[in-house]
Structure 1
Amino acid sequence: MNQNADEPLIRLSEVTKTYGQGDVAYQALKGVNLRVNTGEFVAIMGPSGSGKSTVMNIIGCLDTPTGGEYLFRGVHVERLERNQRALLRRYSLGFVFQGFNLLARTSALENVELPLLYRGESAEQRHQAARIALERVGLSGWENHTPAELSGGQQQRVAIARAIVTHPDVLLADEPTGNLDSKRSHEIMELLTQLNKEEGITVLMVTHEQDMAAYAQRVVTFVDGLVASDEIKQGNTA
């Protein structure tokens, strides 16, 4: 994808999203404008129903806007066909969810390999890349353990390794610490901060916890389907 030097990595312009029709129509997004530059760590906050998860789903190509423009590296994503959006997800985006979403009877190594399997890479390439990704998240030696043999924090580290094994441009994290205790939550946030700073991965994270948002460089707050505030932080806890 070609990108103008002045073009942000992600740009949403007057993005709307409406579910349903007629009297039962619900407008989740009412004209969102958002720019995210390469290498930023952005926390997205807001009350339930504010539109923050809908925005993440649109940026992650899991949903499409009803109106407006979504540009990724200058490409109009809203104009792409379904298979083209799938390719964008596969090659440019990594996902981390609150519930880990690991395959229960599958080893950590095999879980991390999954995105590469979908790309059609060889077994040798998958094994090597997955081991490197697990090492990056501090899980060398745990490759053959199943999720049941790992703590919650370790499971989320496997999920992060799976998200970064493809070297994505953007890591989309939806409440990544929601199922973890305080200590493990801060460990995961320190890992995300490290990946952002050392690997240059752009991080977009939905959270409802102020102490987790404190790790981000910027906090965008949604209210009633619109950006209510967009604040650059002077520093963070990392």
Structure 2
Amino acid sequence: MRGVTKVYGEGPTAFSALKGVDLDIQAGDFVAVMGASGSGKSTTMNILGCLDVPSGGRFLFRGHPVERLDRDQRALLRRRYLGFVFQGFNLLSRTSALENVELPLLYRGEDKRRRRELGMAALDKVGLANWSRNTPAELSGGQQQRVAIARAIVTEPDVLLADEPTGNLDSERSVEIMELLSGLNRDNGITVIMVTHEADMAAFARTVVHFRDGLVERIEARHRQVSGQGEAVEA
């Protein structure tokens, strides 16, 4: 991102959510984005996820100027390269875990056999292969978030964007989800970009970006390791 601005509204009621953000995210990094409400972190995530476009400045993904893409082109970019995990899980309540995970593949036009194969592989990666037939109501909050992560990685994205992925979970389940995201980053090379308000969750990241008043306030580069109790600690 180079000089990225985002303005909502016009005239005297216009609000500048981003005021010239410069930010580099390297492939394979695990980035936590932090800041108070209204600091610009969620707007930045929407632009990084190609859900919104800048009002000004440049956003390059793999060297390609995303701000020049139309709505359909951005949708194709999301479908091919990006996966999303949300605080509220956003699972279909009346369908099984496997069917929820298969949904992005259905949009891609994959046949039933291929959808099942890839869906089960994704559930296995998050440790839920034996729960594939259960509906969300039959799963714990932590299990539901694992299904949501499986849905996000079933298309084998390069980048996983997570918006407060542990916000609805207790401490123990939160650590489990963070260990899972860390493993996907470390073992599968997926770039993880996560918005969080929780410093102990951000400690799992290698890079922490702090936003304030629509700008990047500071960036911390960390070397992290996971303790025997499943806690992230600075090495």
TM-score by length of 1: 0.94
What's the CA shift for 1:235?
A: 2.0
The Cα of 1:73 is off from its aligned counterpart by 0.5
Distance in structure 1 (CA, Å) of the matches to 2:225 and 2:206? 7
Is 1:154 aligned to residue 148 of structure 2?
Answer: no
Corresponding position: 1:64 with 2:53 = yes
Q: Secondary structure at the match of 1:91?
A: helix
Residues in 1 aligned to 2:124 and 2:162: alpha-carbon distance in whole angstroms: 20
CA contact (8 A) 1:214 1:236 kept: no
Question: 1:93·1:170 contact (CA, 8 Å) conserved in 2?
Answer: yes
Correspondence list, 1:1-238, <5 A: 12-237=1-226, 238=232
5+ unaligned residues in a row in structure 2: which ranges?
227-231
The C-alpha deviation readout for 1:189-215, integer Å capped at 9, x for no partner, is 000000000000000000000000000
Contact kept in structure 2, 1:217 and 1:236, CA below 8 Å: no
Give the total of aligned pairs: 227
| 8 Å Cα contact 1:16-1:30 kept in structure 2 | yes
Q: Distance in 1 between matches of 2:224 and 2:139?
A: 33
Aligned partner of residue 148 in structure 1, secondary structure: helix
Counterpart Cα distance in 1 of 2:95 and 2:50 = 27
Find the aligned partners of 1:71 and 1:123 in 2 and give their Cα distance. Answer: 35
2:192 is paired with a residue whose SS is strand
Following TM superposition, by how much is the alpha carbon of 1:236 offset from its aligned partner in structure 2, in angstroms? 4.0
Q: Is 1:13–1:70's contact at 8 Å kept on the other side of the alignment?
A: yes
CA offsets, 1:62-89, max 9 Å, x none? 1110000000001100000110000001
Give the Cα separation in 2 of the matches to 1:235 and 1:141: 32
1:103-139, Cα deviation, whole Å (9 max, x unpaired): 0001000000000000001011100000000000000
- Alignment RMSD (CA, Å): 0.6
CA distance in 2, matches of 1:140, 1:234: 32
Sequence identity of aligned pairs in percent?
A: 69
